[in-house]
Chains A and B, each alone.
Chain A
Amino acid sequence: MTSAIRTEKLGKTYYSGFLRIPYVALQEVDLDVPEGSSFGFVGANGAGKTTTIKALMGLQRPTAGGAWIHGVSILDPAARARVGFLPERPYFYEHLSAAEFLDFYARLTDVPASERAPRITRLLERVDLLRFRDVPLGKFSKGMLQRAGLAQALIAEPDLLVLDEPMSGLDPIGRALVRDLILQERKAGRTVFFSSHILADVEAICDHVAMVDRGRLVRQGRVSELLEGATLHVEVVVRRGDVVETRRVPPAESDAAIDAARRDGWTIVSMHSVTKSLEQVLLGDVDRSRPLETKRLGVLA
Protein backbone atom coordinates (compact mmCIF):
# COMPACT_ATOMS: atom_id res chain seq x y z
CA MET A 1 0.00 0.00 0.00
CA THR A 2 1.37 3.44 -0.90
CA SER A 3 1.73 6.21 1.66
CA ALA A 4 -0.40 9.32 1.80
CA ILE A 5 2.04 10.76 4.33
CA ARG A 6 5.52 9.57 5.12
CA THR A 7 8.08 11.14 7.42
CA GLU A 8 11.65 10.13 8.04
CA LYS A 9 13.38 11.23 11.22
CA LEU A 10 11.32 14.41 11.16
CA GLY A 11 12.50 16.91 13.75
CA LYS A 12 11.77 20.43 14.84
CA THR A 13 13.81 22.47 17.28
CA TYR A 14 12.83 26.00 18.26
CA TYR A 15 15.38 28.52 19.45
CA SER A 16 14.27 31.25 21.76
CA GLY A 17 15.73 34.39 23.22
CA PHE A 18 18.98 36.18 22.65
CA LEU A 19 20.99 33.12 23.69
CA ARG A 20 18.97 30.96 21.26
CA ILE A 21 18.10 28.35 23.87
CA PRO A 22 16.95 25.22 22.02
CA TYR A 23 13.61 23.57 22.60
CA VAL A 24 13.16 20.20 20.93
CA ALA A 25 9.52 19.96 19.93
CA LEU A 26 9.83 16.96 17.65
CA GLN A 27 12.50 14.31 17.32
CA GLU A 28 13.07 11.54 14.77
CA VAL A 29 9.41 11.00 13.94
CA ASP A 30 8.91 8.21 11.38
CA LEU A 31 5.28 8.24 10.36
CA ASP A 32 3.63 6.17 7.66
CA VAL A 33 0.02 6.95 6.84
CA PRO A 34 -1.34 4.45 4.28
CA GLU A 35 -3.56 5.78 1.52
CA GLY A 36 -7.25 5.27 2.20
CA SER A 37 -6.75 4.88 5.94
CA SER A 38 -8.43 6.71 8.75
CA PHE A 39 -5.43 7.62 10.85
CA GLY A 40 -5.60 8.91 14.40
CA PHE A 41 -2.63 10.90 15.63
CA VAL A 42 -2.81 10.98 19.39
CA GLY A 43 -0.90 12.41 22.28
CA ALA A 44 -1.29 14.73 25.22
CA ASN A 45 -1.38 18.49 24.82
CA GLY A 46 2.11 19.68 23.89
CA ALA A 47 3.22 16.21 22.77
CA GLY A 48 4.07 17.36 19.24
CA LYS A 49 0.90 16.66 17.26
CA THR A 50 0.32 20.20 16.06
CA THR A 51 4.04 20.73 15.36
CA THR A 52 4.02 17.66 13.12
CA ILE A 53 0.89 18.83 11.33
CA LYS A 54 2.26 22.35 10.87
CA ALA A 55 5.42 20.93 9.34
CA LEU A 56 3.36 18.78 6.98
CA MET A 57 1.21 21.74 5.99
CA GLY A 58 4.19 23.96 5.19
CA LEU A 59 3.59 26.30 8.11
CA GLN A 60 6.86 25.46 9.83
CA ARG A 61 10.08 24.24 8.33
CA PRO A 62 11.41 21.03 9.86
CA THR A 63 14.92 21.37 11.27
CA ALA A 64 15.74 17.69 10.71
CA GLY A 65 14.64 14.80 8.51
CA GLY A 66 12.09 14.94 5.75
CA ALA A 67 8.44 14.38 4.95
CA TRP A 68 6.45 13.56 1.83
CA ILE A 69 2.79 13.81 0.92
CA HIS A 70 1.75 11.52 -1.92
CA GLY A 71 5.48 11.16 -2.62
CA VAL A 72 6.15 14.91 -2.99
CA SER A 73 8.43 16.67 -0.49
CA ILE A 74 6.53 18.96 1.87
CA LEU A 75 8.99 21.74 1.02
CA ASP A 76 7.25 21.91 -2.36
CA PRO A 77 3.80 23.62 -2.14
CA ALA A 78 2.62 21.18 -4.84
CA ALA A 79 2.68 18.47 -2.13
CA ARG A 80 -0.49 20.06 -0.75
CA ALA A 81 -2.35 20.10 -4.07
CA ARG A 82 -4.57 17.17 -3.06
CA VAL A 83 -4.82 18.02 0.63
CA GLY A 84 -7.59 19.63 2.67
CA PHE A 85 -6.56 21.07 6.04
CA LEU A 86 -8.49 22.19 9.09
CA PRO A 87 -6.33 23.93 11.72
CA GLU A 88 -6.74 23.35 15.45
CA ARG A 89 -8.88 26.40 16.12
CA PRO A 90 -11.03 27.95 13.46
CA TYR A 91 -9.50 31.33 12.59
CA PHE A 92 -11.00 32.66 9.42
CA TYR A 93 -11.62 35.97 7.69
CA GLU A 94 -14.42 37.60 9.64
CA HIS A 95 -15.25 40.02 6.84
CA LEU A 96 -16.22 37.23 4.45
CA SER A 97 -19.58 35.50 4.27
CA ALA A 98 -19.58 31.69 4.33
CA ALA A 99 -20.05 31.55 0.54
CA GLU A 100 -17.33 34.15 -0.15
CA PHE A 101 -15.00 32.31 2.21
CA LEU A 102 -15.40 29.03 0.33
CA ASP A 103 -15.15 30.81 -3.02
CA PHE A 104 -11.81 32.32 -1.97
CA TYR A 105 -10.32 28.93 -1.15
CA ALA A 106 -11.85 27.38 -4.26
CA ARG A 107 -9.98 29.96 -6.34
CA LEU A 108 -6.74 29.32 -4.47
CA THR A 109 -7.01 25.59 -5.10
CA ASP A 110 -7.76 25.99 -8.81
CA VAL A 111 -11.36 24.75 -8.70
CA PRO A 112 -12.75 25.47 -12.20
CA ALA A 113 -15.07 28.52 -12.34
CA SER A 114 -18.05 26.49 -13.57
CA GLU A 115 -17.82 24.09 -10.61
CA ARG A 116 -17.34 26.65 -7.84
CA ALA A 117 -20.93 27.76 -7.17
CA PRO A 118 -22.57 24.29 -7.17
CA ARG A 119 -19.77 22.86 -5.05
CA ILE A 120 -20.07 25.65 -2.48
CA THR A 121 -23.83 25.12 -2.21
CA ARG A 122 -23.36 21.36 -1.87
CA LEU A 123 -20.73 21.72 0.84
CA LEU A 124 -22.66 24.32 2.82
CA GLU A 125 -25.64 22.00 2.75
CA ARG A 126 -23.48 19.12 3.90
CA VAL A 127 -22.20 20.99 6.95
CA ASP A 128 -25.66 22.41 7.64
CA LEU A 129 -24.74 26.05 6.94
CA LEU A 130 -26.68 26.70 3.75
CA ARG A 131 -29.08 29.02 5.60
CA PHE A 132 -26.10 31.13 6.65
CA ARG A 133 -24.33 31.33 3.29
CA ASP A 134 -24.47 35.15 3.20
CA VAL A 135 -23.77 35.73 6.90
CA PRO A 136 -20.25 37.08 7.71
CA LEU A 137 -18.04 34.55 9.54
CA GLY A 138 -17.52 37.15 12.27
CA LYS A 139 -21.07 36.38 13.44
CA PHE A 140 -20.61 32.60 13.53
CA SER A 141 -20.43 30.54 16.72
CA LYS A 142 -17.41 28.31 17.33
CA GLY A 143 -19.25 25.20 16.18
CA MET A 144 -20.42 26.94 13.00
CA LEU A 145 -16.87 28.11 12.30
CA GLN A 146 -15.60 24.57 12.72
CA ARG A 147 -18.16 23.36 10.19
CA ALA A 148 -17.26 26.18 7.79
CA GLY A 149 -13.64 25.14 8.25
CA LEU A 150 -14.47 21.57 7.34
CA ALA A 151 -16.24 22.76 4.20
CA GLN A 152 -13.12 24.79 3.38
CA ALA A 153 -10.97 21.68 3.80
CA LEU A 154 -13.21 19.77 1.39
CA ILE A 155 -13.56 22.48 -1.26
CA ALA A 156 -10.89 21.06 -3.59
CA GLU A 157 -12.22 17.50 -3.18
CA PRO A 158 -8.86 16.40 -1.75
CA ASP A 159 -7.51 12.86 -1.53
CA LEU A 160 -6.11 13.54 1.93
CA LEU A 161 -7.80 15.36 4.80
CA VAL A 162 -5.61 16.65 7.63
CA LEU A 163 -7.65 17.71 10.64
CA ASP A 164 -6.01 19.12 13.75
CA GLU A 165 -8.18 18.41 16.80
CA PRO A 166 -11.38 18.62 14.74
CA MET A 167 -13.66 17.83 17.67
CA SER A 168 -12.15 19.94 20.38
CA GLY A 169 -14.54 22.38 21.98
CA LEU A 170 -17.57 21.12 20.07
CA ASP A 171 -20.92 20.23 21.61
CA PRO A 172 -22.18 16.62 21.26
CA ILE A 173 -24.12 17.45 18.07
CA GLY A 174 -21.07 19.10 16.54
CA ARG A 175 -18.89 16.15 17.47
CA ALA A 176 -21.35 13.72 15.91
CA LEU A 177 -21.39 15.80 12.72
CA VAL A 178 -17.60 15.81 12.48
CA ARG A 179 -17.41 12.10 13.27
CA ASP A 180 -19.98 11.28 10.59
CA LEU A 181 -18.18 13.46 8.11
CA ILE A 182 -14.87 11.71 8.75
CA LEU A 183 -16.55 8.31 8.35
CA GLN A 184 -18.20 9.43 5.09
CA GLU A 185 -14.90 10.68 3.71
CA ARG A 186 -13.19 7.45 4.66
CA LYS A 187 -15.97 5.50 2.97
CA ALA A 188 -15.43 7.62 -0.14
CA GLY A 189 -11.85 6.33 -0.22
CA ARG A 190 -10.11 9.43 1.11
CA THR A 191 -7.29 9.29 3.61
CA VAL A 192 -8.20 11.04 6.85
CA PHE A 193 -5.37 12.01 9.17
CA PHE A 194 -6.53 13.66 12.33
CA SER A 195 -5.07 14.53 15.68
CA SER A 196 -6.85 14.19 18.95
CA HIS A 197 -6.15 13.79 22.61
CA ILE A 198 -9.45 12.00 23.09
CA LEU A 199 -8.68 8.34 22.55
CA ALA A 200 -12.30 7.26 22.60
CA ASP A 201 -12.89 9.30 19.42
CA VAL A 202 -9.89 7.69 17.75
CA GLU A 203 -10.97 4.19 18.75
CA ALA A 204 -14.43 4.80 17.32
CA ILE A 205 -13.29 6.20 13.97
CA CYS A 206 -9.78 5.04 13.10
CA ASP A 207 -8.30 1.96 11.57
CA HIS A 208 -4.72 3.20 12.16
CA VAL A 209 -3.22 5.10 15.02
CA ALA A 210 0.09 6.65 16.07
CA MET A 211 1.02 8.14 19.37
CA VAL A 212 3.50 10.90 20.14
CA ASP A 213 4.83 11.68 23.55
CA ARG A 214 7.15 14.59 24.29
CA GLY A 215 8.14 14.99 20.69
CA ARG A 216 8.80 11.32 19.96
CA LEU A 217 6.68 8.73 18.20
CA VAL A 218 6.09 5.96 20.70
CA ARG A 219 3.85 3.65 18.72
CA GLN A 220 1.96 3.29 15.45
CA GLY A 221 0.01 0.61 13.67
CA ARG A 222 -3.40 -0.80 12.94
CA VAL A 223 -5.87 -0.38 15.78
CA SER A 224 -6.85 -4.05 15.48
CA GLU A 225 -3.21 -5.14 15.80
CA LEU A 226 -2.58 -2.90 18.77
CA LEU A 227 -5.61 -4.33 20.52
CA GLU A 228 -4.62 -7.91 19.70
CA GLY A 229 -3.68 -9.77 22.84
CA ALA A 230 -5.19 -7.01 24.88
CA THR A 231 -7.78 -9.30 26.48
CA LEU A 232 -7.56 -8.88 30.23
CA HIS A 233 -9.90 -11.71 31.27
CA VAL A 234 -13.09 -13.52 30.34
CA GLU A 235 -16.18 -12.84 32.38
CA VAL A 236 -18.46 -15.87 32.68
CA VAL A 237 -21.90 -15.53 34.26
CA VAL A 238 -23.29 -18.83 35.56
CA ARG A 239 -26.51 -19.85 37.31
CA ARG A 240 -27.61 -22.80 39.44
CA GLY A 241 -31.12 -22.56 40.79
CA ASP A 242 -31.53 -19.10 42.21
CA VAL A 243 -27.82 -18.50 42.56
CA VAL A 244 -26.08 -16.35 39.94
CA GLU A 245 -22.31 -15.94 39.92
CA THR A 246 -19.87 -13.91 37.80
CA ARG A 247 -16.51 -15.61 37.38
CA ARG A 248 -13.42 -13.93 35.97
CA VAL A 249 -11.00 -16.34 34.38
CA PRO A 250 -7.77 -15.90 32.37
CA PRO A 251 -8.41 -16.08 28.59
CA ALA A 252 -6.39 -19.27 28.20
CA GLU A 253 -8.43 -21.05 30.89
CA SER A 254 -11.91 -20.01 29.76
CA ASP A 255 -12.78 -23.34 28.02
CA ALA A 256 -11.70 -25.38 30.99
CA ALA A 257 -13.58 -23.10 33.37
CA ILE A 258 -16.81 -23.47 31.38
CA ASP A 259 -16.47 -27.27 31.22
CA ALA A 260 -15.86 -27.41 34.96
CA ALA A 261 -18.89 -25.23 35.68
CA ARG A 262 -21.13 -27.43 33.54
CA ARG A 263 -19.87 -30.57 35.27
CA ASP A 264 -20.81 -29.01 38.58
CA GLY A 265 -24.35 -28.36 37.36
CA TRP A 266 -24.07 -24.67 36.53
CA THR A 267 -25.78 -23.17 33.48
CA ILE A 268 -23.76 -20.71 31.42
CA VAL A 269 -25.80 -17.50 31.20
CA SER A 270 -23.29 -15.37 29.29
CA MET A 271 -19.59 -14.85 28.66
CA HIS A 272 -17.56 -12.04 27.18
CA SER A 273 -13.97 -10.90 26.90
CA VAL A 274 -12.88 -7.83 28.79
CA THR A 275 -10.16 -6.10 26.74
CA LYS A 276 -7.93 -3.13 27.34
CA SER A 277 -9.10 0.06 25.73
CA LEU A 278 -6.89 1.72 23.13
CA GLU A 279 -6.13 4.27 25.81
CA GLN A 280 -4.79 1.61 28.14
CA VAL A 281 -2.72 0.05 25.35
CA LEU A 282 -1.20 3.34 24.20
CA LEU A 283 -0.66 4.85 27.61
CA GLY A 284 1.29 1.75 28.53
CA ASP A 285 3.96 3.03 26.12
CA VAL A 286 4.31 6.43 27.68
CA ASP A 287 7.42 6.80 29.74
CA ARG A 288 6.33 8.95 32.65
CA SER A 289 9.66 8.71 34.40
CA ARG A 290 11.39 10.99 31.87
CA PRO A 291 11.05 14.55 33.12
CA LEU A 292 9.59 17.11 30.70
CA GLU A 293 12.27 19.63 31.62
CA THR A 294 14.97 17.73 29.73
CA LYS A 295 13.22 18.56 26.49
CA ARG A 296 12.77 22.18 27.36
CA LEU A 297 16.49 22.50 27.92
CA GLY A 298 17.17 20.81 24.64
CA VAL A 299 19.33 18.08 26.14
CA LEU A 300 17.42 15.05 25.01
CA ALA A 301 19.55 11.95 24.99
Chain B
Amino acid sequence: MTRALKRIQAVAANTFREAVRDKVLYSILFFAALFLLAALASREVALGDREKVVRGVGLGGISVVGAIIAIFLGVGLVYKEIERKTIYTLASKPVPRWQILLGKYFGLWATLAVEVGILTAMYTLIIGIEQGWPGSGVYVAMGMLMLELTLVTAFATLFSTFASPLSASAYTLCVYVIGHFADDLYTFGKASDNEAFKQMTLVLYRIVPNLGMFNVRTEAVHGVPIPGSEIAWATAYALGYTTAVLALAMVIFERRDFK
Protein backbone atom coordinates (compact mmCIF):
# COMPACT_ATOMS: atom_id res chain seq x y z
CA MET B 1 0.00 0.00 0.00
CA THR B 2 1.37 3.42 -0.85
CA ARG B 3 2.03 6.05 1.81
CA ALA B 4 -0.90 8.16 0.62
CA LEU B 5 -3.33 5.25 0.93
CA LYS B 6 -2.05 4.37 4.39
CA ARG B 7 -2.55 7.94 5.59
CA ILE B 8 -6.02 8.17 4.06
CA GLN B 9 -6.85 4.88 5.73
CA ALA B 10 -5.55 6.16 9.11
CA VAL B 11 -7.74 9.31 8.91
CA ALA B 12 -10.72 7.26 7.71
CA ALA B 13 -10.34 4.78 10.59
CA ASN B 14 -10.17 7.64 13.09
CA THR B 15 -13.28 9.29 11.61
CA PHE B 16 -15.14 5.98 11.68
CA ARG B 17 -14.07 5.32 15.26
CA GLU B 18 -15.20 8.79 16.33
CA ALA B 19 -18.60 8.30 14.65
CA VAL B 20 -19.28 4.88 16.16
CA ARG B 21 -18.32 6.16 19.62
CA ASP B 22 -20.80 9.01 19.34
CA LYS B 23 -23.90 8.33 21.42
CA VAL B 24 -26.08 10.50 19.16
CA LEU B 25 -25.62 7.95 16.39
CA TYR B 26 -27.09 5.20 18.55
CA SER B 27 -30.07 7.37 19.37
CA ILE B 28 -30.73 7.83 15.63
CA LEU B 29 -30.34 4.07 15.07
CA PHE B 30 -32.69 3.33 17.95
CA PHE B 31 -35.38 5.59 16.53
CA ALA B 32 -34.81 4.09 13.07
CA ALA B 33 -35.41 0.62 14.54
CA LEU B 34 -38.58 1.90 16.22
CA PHE B 35 -39.68 3.37 12.91
CA LEU B 36 -39.16 0.05 11.10
CA LEU B 37 -41.31 -1.67 13.71
CA ALA B 38 -43.89 1.09 13.45
CA ALA B 39 -43.97 0.54 9.67
CA LEU B 40 -45.77 -2.70 10.43
CA ALA B 41 -48.57 -0.66 11.92
CA SER B 42 -49.00 1.26 8.66
CA ARG B 43 -50.88 -1.70 7.15
CA GLU B 44 -53.75 -0.99 9.53
CA VAL B 45 -54.37 2.36 7.86
CA ALA B 46 -53.20 1.50 4.33
CA LEU B 47 -55.39 1.13 1.30
CA GLY B 48 -54.74 -1.48 -1.40
CA ASP B 49 -51.92 -4.02 -1.05
CA ARG B 50 -51.11 -3.58 2.59
CA GLU B 51 -47.96 -5.73 2.54
CA LYS B 52 -46.43 -3.56 -0.18
CA VAL B 53 -47.28 -0.41 1.81
CA VAL B 54 -45.40 -1.82 4.79
CA ARG B 55 -42.38 -2.68 2.60
CA GLY B 56 -42.47 0.78 0.97
CA VAL B 57 -42.68 2.65 4.26
CA GLY B 58 -39.82 0.55 5.68
CA LEU B 59 -37.49 1.22 2.73
CA GLY B 60 -38.44 4.89 2.70
CA GLY B 61 -37.60 5.09 6.40
CA ILE B 62 -34.13 3.62 5.86
CA SER B 63 -33.51 6.12 3.07
CA VAL B 64 -34.55 9.10 5.22
CA VAL B 65 -32.50 7.93 8.22
CA GLY B 66 -29.50 7.39 5.92
CA ALA B 67 -29.82 10.95 4.62
CA ILE B 68 -30.21 12.36 8.15
CA ILE B 69 -27.03 10.63 9.32
CA ALA B 70 -25.14 11.67 6.16
CA ILE B 71 -26.11 15.31 6.68
CA PHE B 72 -25.76 15.27 10.47
CA LEU B 73 -22.25 13.80 10.43
CA GLY B 74 -21.11 15.23 7.08
CA VAL B 75 -21.68 18.91 7.84
CA GLY B 76 -19.43 18.74 10.92
CA LEU B 77 -16.79 16.60 9.25
CA VAL B 78 -14.22 19.34 8.66
CA TYR B 79 -15.80 22.12 10.70
CA LYS B 80 -15.53 20.15 13.95
CA GLU B 81 -11.82 19.55 13.37
CA ILE B 82 -11.34 23.31 13.01
CA GLU B 83 -13.70 24.28 15.81
CA ARG B 84 -12.16 21.83 18.29
CA LYS B 85 -8.70 22.74 16.96
CA THR B 86 -7.72 19.10 16.48
CA ILE B 87 -6.83 20.27 12.96
CA TYR B 88 -3.65 21.86 14.40
CA THR B 89 -1.97 18.53 15.03
CA LEU B 90 -3.56 16.85 12.03
CA ALA B 91 -2.73 19.43 9.34
CA SER B 92 0.76 20.03 10.73
CA LYS B 93 1.77 16.46 9.93
CA PRO B 94 3.50 15.81 6.60
CA VAL B 95 0.16 14.84 5.09
CA PRO B 96 -1.26 16.79 2.12
CA ARG B 97 -4.64 18.27 2.95
CA TRP B 98 -6.42 16.40 0.16
CA GLN B 99 -5.47 13.15 1.87
CA ILE B 100 -6.96 14.40 5.14
CA LEU B 101 -10.20 15.36 3.40
CA LEU B 102 -10.47 12.06 1.52
CA GLY B 103 -9.75 10.12 4.70
CA LYS B 104 -12.48 11.96 6.55
CA TYR B 105 -14.90 11.43 3.66
CA PHE B 106 -14.23 7.68 3.45
CA GLY B 107 -14.52 7.33 7.23
CA LEU B 108 -17.97 8.86 7.10
CA TRP B 109 -18.90 6.77 4.07
CA ALA B 110 -17.90 3.60 5.93
CA THR B 111 -20.06 4.70 8.90
CA LEU B 112 -23.04 5.16 6.57
CA ALA B 113 -22.45 1.81 4.90
CA VAL B 114 -22.51 0.10 8.31
CA GLU B 115 -25.66 2.02 9.30
CA VAL B 116 -27.50 1.16 6.09
CA GLY B 117 -26.28 -2.45 6.45
CA ILE B 118 -27.65 -2.72 9.99
CA LEU B 119 -30.99 -1.16 9.01
CA THR B 120 -31.26 -3.41 5.94
CA ALA B 121 -30.60 -6.47 8.12
CA MET B 122 -33.29 -5.31 10.56
CA TYR B 123 -35.69 -4.73 7.65
CA THR B 124 -34.96 -8.19 6.23
CA LEU B 125 -35.64 -9.75 9.62
CA ILE B 126 -38.87 -7.86 10.25
CA ILE B 127 -40.29 -8.34 6.73
CA GLY B 128 -38.99 -11.94 6.62
CA ILE B 129 -40.84 -12.87 9.80
CA GLU B 130 -43.94 -10.91 8.80
CA GLN B 131 -44.25 -11.55 5.04
CA GLY B 132 -41.52 -13.93 3.96
CA TRP B 133 -37.95 -13.06 2.87
CA PRO B 134 -37.76 -10.01 0.58
CA GLY B 135 -36.53 -10.34 -3.02
CA SER B 136 -33.14 -9.22 -4.34
CA GLY B 137 -34.63 -5.94 -5.56
CA VAL B 138 -34.56 -4.66 -1.96
CA TYR B 139 -30.78 -5.04 -1.85
CA VAL B 140 -30.38 -3.35 -5.23
CA ALA B 141 -32.48 -0.48 -3.84
CA MET B 142 -30.23 -0.27 -0.78
CA GLY B 143 -27.17 -0.27 -3.05
CA MET B 144 -28.69 2.60 -4.99
CA LEU B 145 -29.37 4.36 -1.70
CA MET B 146 -25.67 4.06 -0.85
CA LEU B 147 -24.85 5.67 -4.21
CA GLU B 148 -27.18 8.53 -3.34
CA LEU B 149 -25.60 8.89 0.11
CA THR B 150 -22.14 8.84 -1.50
CA LEU B 151 -23.15 11.98 -3.36
CA VAL B 152 -25.06 13.65 -0.51
CA THR B 153 -22.08 13.07 1.82
CA ALA B 154 -19.76 14.68 -0.74
CA PHE B 155 -21.97 17.80 -0.73
CA ALA B 156 -22.07 17.84 3.07
CA THR B 157 -18.26 17.54 3.12
CA LEU B 158 -17.93 20.36 0.59
CA PHE B 159 -20.12 22.72 2.63
CA SER B 160 -18.31 21.67 5.79
CA THR B 161 -15.03 23.04 4.42
CA PHE B 162 -16.26 26.64 4.53
CA ALA B 163 -19.58 26.90 6.41
CA SER B 164 -20.75 26.38 9.98
CA PRO B 165 -22.70 23.15 10.62
CA LEU B 166 -25.99 25.08 10.69
CA SER B 167 -25.42 26.75 7.31
CA ALA B 168 -23.90 23.58 5.84
CA SER B 169 -26.98 21.59 6.98
CA ALA B 170 -29.26 24.11 5.27
CA TYR B 171 -27.23 23.98 2.03
CA THR B 172 -27.06 20.19 1.99
CA LEU B 173 -30.75 19.89 2.78
CA CYS B 174 -31.50 22.23 -0.14
CA VAL B 175 -29.40 20.06 -2.47
CA TYR B 176 -31.14 16.94 -1.11
CA VAL B 177 -34.67 18.30 -1.53
CA ILE B 178 -34.13 19.99 -4.90
CA GLY B 179 -32.17 16.92 -6.06
CA HIS B 180 -35.17 14.71 -5.36
CA PHE B 181 -37.46 16.99 -7.31
CA ALA B 182 -35.04 17.70 -10.17
CA ASP B 183 -37.22 16.03 -12.79
CA ASP B 184 -40.34 17.77 -11.52
CA LEU B 185 -38.49 21.08 -11.51
CA TYR B 186 -37.50 20.60 -15.14
CA THR B 187 -41.04 19.69 -16.17
CA PHE B 188 -42.47 22.56 -14.14
CA GLY B 189 -40.10 25.11 -15.72
CA LYS B 190 -40.77 23.79 -19.21
CA ALA B 191 -44.49 24.28 -18.74
CA SER B 192 -44.07 27.86 -17.56
CA ASP B 193 -44.67 30.86 -19.84
CA ASN B 194 -42.23 33.00 -17.89
CA GLU B 195 -38.88 32.88 -19.73
CA ALA B 196 -36.81 33.93 -16.69
CA PHE B 197 -38.39 31.22 -14.54
CA LYS B 198 -37.86 28.71 -17.32
CA GLN B 199 -34.14 29.57 -17.48
CA MET B 200 -33.76 29.51 -13.70
CA THR B 201 -35.27 26.05 -13.36
CA LEU B 202 -33.13 24.82 -16.25
CA VAL B 203 -29.95 26.12 -14.57
CA LEU B 204 -30.99 24.55 -11.25
CA TYR B 205 -31.78 21.28 -13.00
CA ARG B 206 -28.31 21.22 -14.53
CA ILE B 207 -26.40 22.21 -11.36
CA VAL B 208 -28.21 20.18 -8.72
CA PRO B 209 -27.70 16.41 -8.85
CA ASN B 210 -30.66 14.34 -9.94
CA LEU B 211 -31.14 12.23 -6.82
CA GLY B 212 -34.43 10.85 -8.10
CA MET B 213 -32.52 8.42 -10.33
CA PHE B 214 -31.30 6.53 -7.26
CA ASN B 215 -34.82 5.87 -6.04
CA VAL B 216 -35.78 2.38 -7.19
CA ARG B 217 -37.66 1.54 -4.01
CA THR B 218 -41.05 1.38 -5.79
CA GLU B 219 -39.66 -1.22 -8.22
CA ALA B 220 -38.18 -3.16 -5.31
CA VAL B 221 -41.46 -3.15 -3.39
CA HIS B 222 -43.44 -4.31 -6.43
CA GLY B 223 -40.85 -6.86 -7.46
CA VAL B 224 -40.26 -5.14 -10.82
CA PRO B 225 -36.77 -5.96 -12.16
CA ILE B 226 -34.28 -3.05 -12.21
CA PRO B 227 -32.32 -2.97 -15.49
CA GLY B 228 -28.54 -3.36 -15.20
CA SER B 229 -28.02 -0.38 -17.49
CA GLU B 230 -29.94 1.82 -15.04
CA ILE B 231 -27.71 0.66 -12.19
CA ALA B 232 -24.55 1.17 -14.27
CA TRP B 233 -25.60 4.69 -15.30
CA ALA B 234 -26.53 5.62 -11.71
CA THR B 235 -23.15 4.30 -10.49
CA ALA B 236 -21.20 6.27 -13.11
CA TYR B 237 -23.29 9.39 -12.39
CA ALA B 238 -22.78 9.14 -8.61
CA LEU B 239 -19.04 8.49 -8.87
CA GLY B 240 -18.47 11.22 -11.47
CA TYR B 241 -20.50 13.82 -9.58
CA THR B 242 -18.93 12.85 -6.23
CA THR B 243 -15.41 13.17 -7.69
CA ALA B 244 -16.20 16.67 -8.99
CA VAL B 245 -17.73 17.81 -5.67
CA LEU B 246 -14.85 16.37 -3.64
CA ALA B 247 -12.32 17.99 -5.97
CA LEU B 248 -13.95 21.37 -5.30
CA ALA B 249 -13.94 20.63 -1.56
CA MET B 250 -10.21 19.82 -1.75
CA VAL B 251 -9.44 23.12 -3.50
CA ILE B 252 -11.30 25.07 -0.79
CA PHE B 253 -9.77 23.03 2.04
CA GLU B 254 -6.28 23.47 0.59
CA ARG B 255 -6.60 27.25 0.74
CA ARG B 256 -8.07 27.50 4.23
CA ASP B 257 -6.25 29.20 7.08
CA PHE B 258 -6.69 27.67 10.51
CA LYS B 259 -6.78 30.54 13.01
Contacts and interface: CB of A to CB of B under 8 A. Distances in A.
Interface of A: 54, 57-61, 77-81, 83, 85, 87, 89, 91-93, 95-96, 100, 104-105, 107-110, 149, 152
B257 A59 contact: yes
Given A93-B14, A96-B14, A60 B257 contact: yes
A263 B83 CA distance: 73
Interface in B219-259: 255, 257-259
Nearest to A50: B259
A83 B94 CA distance: 8
B96 A87 contact: no
Closest 10 CB pairs of A and B: A91-B85, A107-B10, A57-B92, A87-B88, A81-B94, A59-B258, A60-B257, A95-B21, A85-B92, A80-B94
A87 B14 contact: no
Contacts of A77: 93-97
Given A57-B91, A61-B257, A87-B92, 5 more contacts: A59-B91, A59-B257, A93-B86, A109-B93, A110-B3
Contacts of A109: 93-94
Contacts of A110: 3, 6-7
Contacts of A96: 14, 17
Nearest to A92: B86
Nearest to B10: A107
B89 interface: yes
A140 to B, nearest CB: 14
A83 B91 CA distance: 12
B14 A91 contact: no
B93 A105 contact: yes
Contacts of A152: 89
B18 interface: yes
A59 B88 contact: yes
B122 interface: no
Interface size class of B (residues with CB under 8 A): 20 to 34
B93 to A, nearest CB: 5
A285 to B, nearest CB: 28
B156 interface: no
A108 B7 CA distance: 5
B-side interface mostly: helix
Contacts of B86: 91-93
A91 B22 CA distance: 18
Contacts of A149: 89
Interface string B53-93: 00000000000000000000000000000001111111111
A59 B17 contact: no
Interface string B181-204: 000000000000000000000000
B80 to A, nearest CB: 10
B11 interface: yes
A103 B180 CA distance: 42
Nearest to B83: A91
A152 B255 CA distance: 26
Contacts of B10: 104, 107-108
19 contacts: A57-B91, A58-B91, A59-B87, A59-B92, A59-B257, A59-B258, A61-B257, A77-B93, A85-B89, A85-B92, A87-B88, A91-B85, A91-B89, A107-B7, A108-B11, A108-B90, A109-B94, A110-B6, A149-B89
A83 B14 CA distance: 22
Nearest to B21: A95
B99 to A, nearest CB: 9
Contacts of B11: 108
Most-contacted residue by chain B among A80, A91, A149 (CB, 10 A): A91
B257 A107 contact: no
A92 B89 contact: yes
Most-contacted residue by chain B among A81, A107, A108, A110 (CB, 10 A): A108
B89 to A, nearest CB: 6
Contacts of A81: 94
Contacts of B85: 87, 89, 91
A104 B95 CA distance: 13
A107 B84 CA distance: 21
A61 B254 CA distance: 10
Contacts of B95: 77, 108
B250 to A, nearest CB: 14
B6 A60 contact: no
B40 to A, nearest CB: 36
Contacts of B255: 61
Nearest to A80: B94
Contacts of A95: 17-18, 21-22
Contacts of B22: 95
Interface in B1-48: 3, 6-7, 9-11, 14, 17-18, 21-22
Nearest to B95: A108
Contact of B88 (A78, A91, A105, A107): A91
